[in-house]
């Protein structure tokens, strides 16, 4: 077991883009909390994300101009910055390449939610997804372990048609279909940059942990380096228990 920042080897200068489904926002905010006392951490999105609760940040700017006007030399802490905000939905709108390049010098570590799934636990990727920005140094893909071997049903899969294309119309979210999601160029590591990681979240009980361990071994044997090289970890963000694969 270990801390998330250690498992993902997060260090000063990193720009981390988080993609997939089943825990992206939670993973980003927990990483930020671990780093909060040692680094100037920026939290943002290149897609859309819910505005975090106040306890999860020290500073919040819902547009770039307001950040420009009030920025000062900040000590360690978490700064949330977005392009804009949908006040009705309390959703932060994503920054772009130009915004990120302007912001990079002001922070030690930048964490980006770089994908969307409409709050559904499983997804396929549409043509414009995921919006991983070019300066990314690490890409973390998130898949929920509690859906391993579940029947693939439209009501919980965002991008259902794309998911079926990826998995060759697999009826179940089994090891082979997850392997395809991790190995195909239109899957979870589409547009990925830098060092890659796969995080199997929601492995909260013994059965789910065993499934995650078995899937990890399957992926290491059959999928890693074919064509993407990636490290694997699994566990539960809710229980704050994490294992390296």
For the chain, what is the mean pLDDT? 97
Q: What is the pTM of this model?
A: 0.97
Beta bridge partners of residue 92, listed in sequence order: 49, 85
**Domains: count for the chain:** 1
Range 82-89 average pLDDT:
97
Q: Is 244 helix (H, G, I), strand (E, B) or coil?
A: strand
Residues 6+ apart with CB under 8 A from 93: 45, 48, 82, 83, 84, 85, 86
Q: What is the pLDDT of residues 27-58, one digit of tens each?
A: 999 999 999 999 999 999 999 999 999 999 99
Q: What is the pLDDT of residues 145-194, one digit of tens each?
A: 999 999 999 999 999 999 999 999 999 999 999 999 999 999 999 999 99
Confidence of residue 72 (pLDDT cuts 50, 70, 90): confident
Confidence of residue 1 (pLDDT cuts 50, 70, 90): low
Q: Would you state the pLDDT for residue 7?
A: 97
> Residue 222 pLDDT > 80, yes or no?
yes
119 sits in the region (left: phi over 0; alpha: psi -120 to 50; else beta) called left
Q: Would you state the pLDDT for residue 73?
A: 75
Q: What's the domain range around 29?
A: 4-244
Q: Are 202 and 122 in contact (CB under 8 A)?
A: no
CATH number at residue 77: 3.40.50
C-beta neighbour count of 155 within 10 angstroms: 6
């Amino acid at each position: 077991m270990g801390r998330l920042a250690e498992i993902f080897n997060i260090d000063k200068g990193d720009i981390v883009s988080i993609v997939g489904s089943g825990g992206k926002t939670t993973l980003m905010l927990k990483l930020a909390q671990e780093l909060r006392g040692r680094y100037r951490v920026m939290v943002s999105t290149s897609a859309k994300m819910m505005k975090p609760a106040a306890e999860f940040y020290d500073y919040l700017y819902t547009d770039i101009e307001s950040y420009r006007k009030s920025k000062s030399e900040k000590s360690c802490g978490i700064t949330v910055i977005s392009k804009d905000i949908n006040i009705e939905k309390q959703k932060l709108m994503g920054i772009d390449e130009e915004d990120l390049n302007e912001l990079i010098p002001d922070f030690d570590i930048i964490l980006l939610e770089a994908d969307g799934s409409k709050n559904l636990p499983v997804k396929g990727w549409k043509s414009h997804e995921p919006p991983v920005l070019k300066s990314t140094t690490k890409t973390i893909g998130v898949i929920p372990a509690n859906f391993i071997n579940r029947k693939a049903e439209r009501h919980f899969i965002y991008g259902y048609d794309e998911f079926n294309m990826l998995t060759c119309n697999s009826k179940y979210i089994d090891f082979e279909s997850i392997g395809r999601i991790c190995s195909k160029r239109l899957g979870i590591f589409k547009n990925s940059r830098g060092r890659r990681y796969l995080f199997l979240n929601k492995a909260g009980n013994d059965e789910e942990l065993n499934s995650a361990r078995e899937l990890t071994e399957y992926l290491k044997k059959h999928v890693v380096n074919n064509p993407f090289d990636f490290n694997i970890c699994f566990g539960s963000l809710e229980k704050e228990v994490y294992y390296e694969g």
